[in-house]
Amino acid sequence: MKEYVLRKIDDGKYYLFCLSFEGILNYLRDLENEEGIRANTGTLIIDQFLVVGNGENRFISCDFSNGVIEISSSKNRVPEAELDALALNVLQDNFNLLNSSILTKKQRELIMEGQLV
């Protein structure tokens, strides 16, 4: 099983949800080999909800070009409603991972009900 979910948002914009507590550097090479990253140039929006929680460092973005993710271009990103909707969808699809997360039972229940905590 992959440690992340990668989804195309639109041309040149991809959303990455980290499914483990480990950071992106642990699977950077796998990401760079993903079709969408390898064959395009654009922005990768990284959602670290399960890594850092729902704080100011949750969303970061960085540039990529033809299979190379430029970590040095990373910057914090302001949350957007579209990103929260994607996150909720990923969390509901991977709900079993939340049982071993730092989320409380109440937070897990809210996610199942369609509310992001």
Cross-strand partners of 10: 13
Tens of pLDDT, residues 45-68? 999 988 888 888 999 999 999 999
pLDDT at 70: 97
**14 and 45 in contact (C-beta within 8 Å)?**
yes
pLDDT at 101: 77
Tens of pLDDT, residues 16-55? 999 887 788 889 999 999 999 999 999 999 999 888 888 8
Residue type, 94: N
Tens of pLDDT, residues 90-110? 999 999 888 877 788 898 899
Q: Which of 70, 59, 58 is nearest to 31 (CA)?
A: 70
Q: Which of 83, 106, 117 is nearest to 13 (CA)?
A: 83
Cα 76 to Cα 63: distance, rounded to the nearest angstrom:
13
Count of beta carbons in the 10 Å neighbourhood of residue 87: 22
pLDDT at 32: 96
pTM for the full predicted model: 0.90
pLDDT at 102: 74
